Structure 1
Amino acid sequence: MEKDERFQKVQFAAWVGIIGNIILAIIKGIVGFIANSQALIADAVHSASDVVGSVAVLIGVRAAKRPPDRDHPYGHGKAELIAAIIVAVLLFVVGFEIAMTAVKSFFEPIEVPGLVAIYAVVFSIIVKELMFRYKYHLGKKYRSEALITDAWHHRSDVFSSVAALIGIGASIIGGYIGVPWLVYADPIAGLFVAVLIVKMAWSLGKTSIHNTLDHVMHDEDTVEMREIISSVHGVLNIDEFLAREHGHYVIIDIKIAVDPEITVAEGHAIGKEVKKKLLEIDHVQDVLVHINPYSARKV
């Protein structure tokens, strides 16, 4: 039931992102064209890229929900991580394109943006911040790397919109008071937006790739799990403990030591009890237990 609830919530959040970004991209694109604002057009392109990112998250979440099969005995949880990497790459490409457009603007005559561009940017900032908070909260709650990455995608749009707001405002003021060079604050804002986007893409992509490569949870994050294992009657020592993050869930490989004098059946029963208790933890998907005979060890 909890897994179905997770899927429904994360899928709904992805749809919120898709619909919201389509609306924002259209509004900012039209207003940016009418108001002749390079910064707002760049911001509209950023929102359009968010649509593709949210679609990637939706596809990743759907794939991750599929149960284990013969070819994927550990499940499909890493599909969300792959979706997160796709979003990060997309962010990087969009940032680079926006930067190129902004640089070209410095070598062309530009006009002062219209005042209506300010209203579109403020609306975008409010909507994007709300979307970020909503998705980030759900991503943390349901351990969805793809959703968290997509949430930061929205936050990057907030940053870009703030930069666009400053650039557009400075450009309008420059045109009003007769300071020609201030008109270029608009493309400068677009360039600043691009740098923010590329930096965020690098950070998010690095984290997602790290988690995709069978990242093992650190000792401080597995204290509760180790205490649960040690509490099982018959477990004399934890010889090895590996908890691999597999997308939104964890797969545990452990070696425990038991009394060498007990029967194979008794040792097997201890292993089953360890597995049963660990599977009671919400995000633990599977546990592989190996039984070793206990012996005194030199320190």
Structure 2
Amino acid sequence: MKKTLNEENFQINSTREKLAANASWMGIIINGALAFFKLVISFITGSMAILADGIDTTTDIITSILTLIASKISSKPADDSHPFGHERAETIVTKVLSLVIIYAGFQVLIGAIQSIITHSFSIYRPYLVLWISLISIFTKYFLYKYKFSVGNKIRNSSIVADALNMRNDILTSLSVLIGIIFYLTLNIMWVDSLVAIIVSAFIFRVGIKMFLETSDEFMGSSKELGEIYYNTLEAVEKVSKANNPHKIRVRKAGYVYFVELHIEVEEEMSVKEANETASQVEKELKKINPYIKDVMIHVEPLGNNEEEEFGFDKNSIKRIFDK
């Protein structure tokens, strides 16, 4: 028996919530263990670099918890208070994550600078730092691949952002590893604090990038929406009675999209036929891309000529997104 669009959307939401929860819990458990050992080793050894890495990993636990909460909220259906649904919760959480990461980077930077000023360079039992760095590199790589795959599969921006943070953590732990090797082999005492400063730069970079990307989404930027615009053109082409799609606008909310467009139909067409044509375009569009949640279509007579103040047509879509 063929599933309706509502049944397909329910299945998508259920699958998303389950996969997102699994990814979040995986991050919480693994990062929780890593953060504990890194912080303990930092207190034993006095290493600023591994302390910075430990603080960074602690923020990863927070991001996984926030991602889990966001996935729960975004899976709720639309209601009277939120007629467009709850999907944008993921964008809000990603924005919060960016601020948490930026703050963590600032704390790491301050600690490293203080270490240099006070000449606190001694590291006790440096081999502990070496081993926890190696373990962290392999563990973070696994988390990065896993979360990036899940995030892209379910189009969850907060999980993708968390995965990119895991990739950044690989560089962080690699920097700590290189620093401790220099410390052990060349006896360069200040390299540990220098590595901590480099780590803070990595953290800042990821946080700022996430902040800017979510700002684009809140402002309705057309970046990375080319696929949806082309989906819209394709849907109109499949409906013979629909012509000249224009004033096309796409808005992203979490993992779903809202599409608005104008189409033209024969002037003699009845209101009922015009409505059926618009409904066919909507069905085709949702069939092409199930992540399109809602479509608003305005119908005009064929050959209608008016100034377009906003939105895209076929020519402008090709000009902008074929670059």
Q: TM-score, normalised by structure 2?
A: 0.86
C-alpha distance in 2 between matches for 1:110 and 1:19? 32
1:155 to 156, 164, 167: 167
What is the CA distance between 1:252 and its match in structure 2? 0.7
Aligned to 1:279, the other structure's residue is in SS state: helix
Letter in 2 for 1:128: K
Q: In structure 2, how many angstroms separate the alpha carbons of the residues matched to 1:123 and 1:218?
A: 36
Shift of 1:212: 2.2
- Secondary structure class of the residue paired with 1:183: coil
Q: Which residue of the other structure, out of 26, 36, 40, is the alignment partner of 1:26?
A: 36
Q: Is the 8 A contact 2:225 2:250 kept in 1?
A: no
Say whether 1:106 aligns with 2:116: yes
Aligned match for 2:268, one of 237, 261, 274? 261
Residue deviations 1:38-93, cap 9 Å, x none? 11111111100111111111111111111111222111111101111111111100
Task: Please name the residue that 1:202 is paired with.
Answer: 208
Separation of aligned partners in 1, 2:207 and 2:145: 19
Q: Which amino acid is 1:286 matched to?
A: D
Task: Look up the match of 1:91.
Answer: 101
Shift of 1:128: 0.6
CA contact (8 A) 2:266 2:301 kept: yes
Task: State how 1:207-226 maps to structure 2 within 5 Å.
Answer: 207-216=213-222, 220-221=226-227, 222-226=229-233
Q: Given the alignment of the two structures, is residue 189 of structure 1 paired with residue 195 of structure 2, yes or no?
A: yes
1:140 corresponds to which residue?
A: 152
Find the aligned partners of 1:298 and 1:88 in 2 and give their Cα distance: 43
Against the structure 1 CA distance between its residues 26 and 225, is the aligned structure 2 distance closer, same or farther, given a 3 Å change threshold? same
Aligned counterpart for 1:246 among listed residues 243, 253, 256:
253
**Bigger Cα displacement from structure 2, 241-250 vs 218-227:** 218-227
Question: Residue 52 of structure 2 is aligned with which of 42, 45, 50?
Answer: 42
Q: Quick one: percent identity of the two aligned structures?
A: 24
1:107 aligned counterpart, secondary structure = helix
> Quick one: distance in 2 between partners of 1:151 and 1:213?
24
Residues 196, 298 of structure 1: CA spacing in aligned structure 2 closer, same or farther, 3 A cutoff? closer
| CA deviation after TM superposition for structure 1 residue 156, in Å | 1.6
Counterpart AA for 1:194: S
Counterpart AA for 1:23: A
Q: Residue 117 of structure 2: SS of its match in structure 1?
A: coil
Match of 1:71 in 2: 81
Q: Distance in 2 between matches of 1:17 and 1:157?
A: 13
Aligned to 2:298: 290
Q: Is the 8 A contact 1:64 1:77 kept in 2?
A: yes
Q: Give how far 1:216 is off.
A: 3.5
Residues in 1 aligned to 2:92 and 2:226: alpha-carbon distance in whole angstroms: 26
- CA contact 2:172–2:199 (8 Å) conserved in 1: yes
Give the alignment's Cα RMSD to 1 decimal.
Answer: 1.7
- In structure 1, the partner of 2:134 is 122
In structure 2, do the counterparts of structure 1 residues 22 and 133 end up closer, same or farther at CA, with 3 Å as the change threshold?
A: same
Q: Distance in 2 between matches of 1:139 and 1:47?
A: 19
- Which residue does the alignment assign to 2:184? 172
CA distance in structure 2 between the aligned counterparts of 1:186 and 1:94, rounded to whole angstroms = 18
Inter-CA distance 276–41: structure 2 relative to 1 (3 Å threshold): same
- Cα displacement string for residues 76-134 of structure 1 (whole angstroms, at most 9, x for unaligned residues): 11110111111111110000100000000012233134211100110011101110111
Tell me, in whole angstroms, the C-alpha distance in 1 between the residues paired with 2:29 and 2:92: 22
Contact 2:24 2:64 in 1 (8 A): yes
Alpha carbons 2:121, 2:192 under 8 Å: kept: no
| Residues 148/240 of structure 1: CA separation in 2 closer, same or farther (3 Å cut) | same
Distance 1:61 1:184 in 2: 43
Distance change in 2, residues 1:297/1:289 (3 Å): closer
Specify whether residues 113 and 163 from structure 1 end up closer, same or farther in structure 2 by C-alpha distance, changes over 3 A only.
farther
Task: Give the CA deviation at 1:192.
Answer: 0.5
**CA 1:266/1:298 → structure 2, altered by over 3 Å: closer, same or farther?**
closer
C-alpha change, 1:219 and 1:48, in structure 2 (3 Å) is closer
SS at match of 2:260: strand
Structure 2 gaps, min length 5: 1-10, 308-323
The two structures have a TM-score, normalised by structure 1, of 0.93
Question: Are the equivalent residues in 2 in contact too, given 1:102–1:191 (CA < 8 A)?
Answer: yes
